[in-house]
Structure 1
Amino acid sequence: MAQVLVVDDSSTMRGIVSTFLSQNGFEVAIAHDGRDGLRQLQNDPDIRLVVSDINMPNMDGLTMAEMIRKDLGNTAVRIVMLTTEDNAGMRARGKDIGVNGWIVKPFRGEAVLGPFRKLCGM
């Protein structure tokens, strides 16, 4: 099953990130918002990395990350935020929740390839 779960309400961003990762050897699943992301993560135990936007309808990325850690008790999956948000308070909240990385858009695939492979154990 999937190694990486890409969570973003923008179909364009989901497409850019998931296509790049797929072309570089990752198995990718996609979710439309945090609620959908939680569902996908519960149904696919092979997911090692969640790459998520923050600002989404239904459930934002930080709330999803918090639920992954607390409600699901999943501390093994790595969580990276891919967002336009770059303020210290939001980053601090992410760190407190258990977010492992923070990437400010635009997405530069080549720059994350090595770290993503490492996070997925590749």
Structure 2
Amino acid sequence: MADGGRKHRVLIVEDEDNIAIALDYLMSREGFDHDRIATGAGAIDRIRAMHPDLVLLDVMLPEVSGYEICQEVRADSGLADVKILMMTARGSAMERRKGLALGADGFIAKPFELKELRDEVHRLLDAGGQG
């Protein structure tokens, strides 16, 4: 959806500062417009206001879990084109299945290599609405 030269917009929902800093660095380096929210509370409102192309969504968040946020985004037809990449330190197969079942477009286990995350971000954003 970055037609007409518009930069992709990415919202980072991550409570750990060290991870958020790494994500911020990567998004800047890739030339994306991006913002961050550090808690689950308010994430849905921010997603609705910003309407990002991609949400990098931590599973374990204070107040509202990433799963709940994912479920709420998927229940909102106005946000159907928003891609969601879930991130978790508990990268078990069950966690992955749960995230994908709730409508996540991708799932990455922390800690991740920046290249791995970059590749996954581009896979989702370059899909051009397929998925």
Q: TM-score range by the shorter chain?
A: 0.7 to 0.9
| 1:8 aligned residue (10, 14, 18) | 14
TM-score normalised by structure 2 residue count: 0.81
Distance in 1 (CA, whole Å) between partners of 2:108 and 2:20 is: 15
Whether the aligned pair in 2 keeps the contact of 1:62 and 1:94 (CA below 8 Å) is yes
Higher mean C-alpha displacement, 27-36 vs 96-105: 27-36
Q: SS where residue 112 of structure 1 aligns?
A: helix
| 1:120 aligned residue (104, 113, 125) | 125
Q: How far did residue 75 of structure 1 move?
A: 2.0
**Mapping of 1:3-82 within 5 angstroms?**
3-45=9-51, 47-70=52-75, 72-73=76-77, 74-82=79-87
Find runs of 4+ consecutive structure 1 residues off by over 4 angstroms.
none
Give CA-to-partner distance per residue, 1:74-93, whole Å, 9 cap, x none: 22111111111122222222
Give CA-to-partner distance per residue, 1:91-110, whole Å, 9 cap, x none: 22211111111111113222
Unaligned 5+ runs, structure 2: 1-6
TM-score normalised by structure 1 residue count: 0.86
The aligned amino acid for 2:70 is: A
Whether the aligned pair in 2 keeps the contact of 1:35 and 1:64 (CA below 8 Å) is no
Whether the aligned pair in 2 keeps the contact of 1:3 and 1:120 (CA below 8 Å) is no
Identity over aligned residues, as a percent? Answer: 23
Root mean square deviation of aligned Cα:
1.9
How many residue pairs were aligned? 120
Unaligned 5+ runs, structure 1: none
